[in-house]
């Protein structure tokens, strides 16, 4: 009965709220129906010189105008010519010490053979195929309830922390920076998708809204970390109502930018195959103490990449039951109200949005514990997870995150309802010492 009343309320909300529409995401299977030249493209890495300091006014702290870039491009052009490839673009990635060149096989030679030949070229650090990634969203019944407001006691959390002075890199599709519930957010927006026109898109805007929508402004909903600074990095694109798509080079550019611009938390609400370039960038992020959040793909036995990558916090939505390996955390991700482009709000579902909840929660913890590194924040989230009994044939849960418990440890005080269950006396000692 409660579900029926909620559904009726949702319909009333949709019909009576000006500018409001419910956002529906396309099934993931449709993403593979779009022809894409990326199937004929490869990434070729050349080594960057070690960082150095020039004591003059021209030093900018990056490689974008470094004197060796022209020389490396000439080497890349020679490599392309030797292997029958067409040089498309390049992007220095000083975070991992390589210059990444995108090349295209213009004919019909098998890409596997091209990669074997490139691997034997002594000028190449490594070469790889261009992998595709997609956002993780689904279409469930709509309810006008913000799950975190009830399940996570969001108002109580915000009395303790808003995520201030924490920068979260949202690597996703285009964020609507003019949305009224994202006033002043994001603090920075960059587009790394060169072949698709820049746009304001549903998936990225919804993820940004869940993380950082303004609270107490009398409109819309409240983000998990409304005080955080969102770095909106467009590495994915949406087309024809299909799921958001990304690839190795666009994600690599965005990850490198996040590393070079002091992101504290990186949210990756997407999934796809393991990728050497992205693994190297994730290793660099984790080594710097950055917290990395990834959305778990229920269609993949291990949750998919990057959710299953060591050090990444993999997140699935509460209530999902799939044969995914242990280590995945649960968070709200079903019928979540959030921002959609064009000054509208809508309901979204999927592990993409569960990951966004955890990115916001990590920012709340990071405000309370500014010296905690990514590993410490991850331990705090894992330690707060409720561990239900294992049910044969269902997801072997690490557990649903208890946001009140996580913040109680970080604040070393009671945060929500101070019952015997939530009292800090029943929690292990703080994990941030």
Just list the catalytic residues. 172, 203, 352
Distance (Å, rounded) from C-alpha 104 to C-alpha 26? 29
Q: Which of 220, 216, 221, 224 is nearest to 162 (CA)?
A: 224
Distance (Å, rounded) from C-alpha 84 to C-alpha 87? 10
Burial of 184 (0-12, 13-18, 19+ CB in 10 A): exposed
Structure tokens at 204: 């990225």
Distance (Å, rounded) from C-alpha 353 to C-alpha 129? 28
Question: Kind and range of the H or E element at 253?
Answer: helix 248-260
Q: Where are the beta strands (DSSP E) in 179-283?
A: 188-191, 229-234, 236-237, 245-247, 265-268, 270-271
Instruction: Check: CB of residue 327 under 8 Å from CB of residue 397.
Output: no
H helical segments located in 261-314: 276-287
Distance (Å, rounded) from C-alpha 409 to C-alpha 415? 9
Distance (Å, rounded) from C-alpha 102 to C-alpha 98? 13
- Three-class secondary structure assignment of 68-133: CHHHHHHHHHHHHHHCCCEEEEEEEECCCCEEEEEEECCCCCCHHHHHHHHHCCCCCCEEEECCEE
Q: Which of 202, 194, 195 is nearest to 174 (CA)?
A: 202
Q: Which of 406, 389, 405 is nearest to 397 (CA)?
A: 389
Rounded-to-5 percentages of helix, strand, coil across the chain: 30, 20, 45
> How far from the centroid of its chain's Cα atoms is residue 176's Cα?
16
CA torsion 189-191-197-201 (nearest 10°) is: -50
Sign of the alpha-carbon dihedral angle for 61, 67, 73, 75: negative
> How far from the centroid of its chain's Cα atoms is residue 403's Cα?
19
Own/partner pairs for 428-431, CB < 8 Å, 24+ apart?
A: 428/383, 431/376, 431/379, 431/380, 431/383
């Amino acid at each position: 009965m409660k579900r029926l009343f909620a559904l009726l309320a949702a319909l009333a909300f949709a019909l009576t709220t000006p500018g409001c529409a419910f956002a529906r995401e396309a099934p993931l299977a449709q993403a593979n129906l779009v022809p894409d030249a990326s199937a004929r493209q490869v990434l070729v890495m050349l080594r960057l010189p070690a960082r150095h300091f020039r004591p003059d006014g021209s030093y900018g702290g990056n490689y974008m105008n470094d004197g060796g870039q022209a020389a490396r491009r000439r080497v890349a052009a020679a490599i392309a010519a030797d292997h029958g490839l067409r040089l498309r673009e390049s992007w220095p990635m000083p975070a991992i010490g390589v210059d990444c060149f995108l090349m295209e096989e213009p004919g019909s030679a098998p890409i596997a053979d091209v990669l074997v030949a490139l691997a034997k070229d002594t000028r190449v650090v490594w070469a790889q195929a261009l992998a595709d990634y997609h956002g993780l969203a689904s279409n469930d019944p709509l309810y006008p309830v913000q799950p975190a407001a009830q399940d996570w006691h969001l108002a109580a959390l915000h009395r303790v922390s808003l995520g201030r002075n924490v920068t979260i890199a949202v690597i996703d599709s285009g964020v609507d920076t003019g949305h009224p519930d994202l006033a002043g957010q994001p603090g920075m927006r960059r587009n790394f998708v060169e072949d698709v026109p820049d746009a304001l898109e549903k998936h990225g805007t919804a993820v940004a809204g869940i993380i950082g929508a303004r609270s107490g402004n009398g409109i819309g909903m409240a983000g998990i970390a409304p005080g955080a600074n969102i770095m909106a990095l467009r590495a994915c694109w949406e087309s024809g109502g299909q799921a958001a798509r990304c690839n190795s080079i666009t994600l690599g550019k965005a990850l490198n930018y996040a590393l070079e611009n002091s992101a504290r938390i990186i949210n990756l609400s997407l999934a796809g195959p393991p990728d050497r370039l992205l693994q190297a960038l994730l290793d660099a992020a984790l080594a710097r103490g950055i917290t990395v959040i990834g959305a778990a793909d229920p269609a993949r036995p291990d949750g998919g990449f990057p959710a299953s990558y060591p050090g990444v916090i993999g997140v699935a939505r509460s209530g999902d039951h799939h044969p995914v390996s242990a280590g995945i955390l649960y968070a709200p991700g079903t019928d979540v109200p959030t921002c959609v482009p064009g000054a509208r709000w809508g309901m979204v579902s999927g592990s993409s949005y569960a990951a966004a909840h955890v990115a916001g929660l990590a920012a709340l913890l990071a405000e309370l514990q500014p010296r905690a590194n990514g590993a410490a924040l991850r331990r705090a989230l894992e330690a707060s997870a409720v561990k239900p009994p294992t049910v044969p044939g269902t997801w072997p849960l690490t557990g649903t995150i208890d946001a009140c418990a996580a913040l109680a440890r970080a604040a070393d005080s009671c945060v929500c309802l101070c019952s015997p269950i939530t009292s800090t006396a029943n929690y292990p000692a703080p994990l941030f010492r």
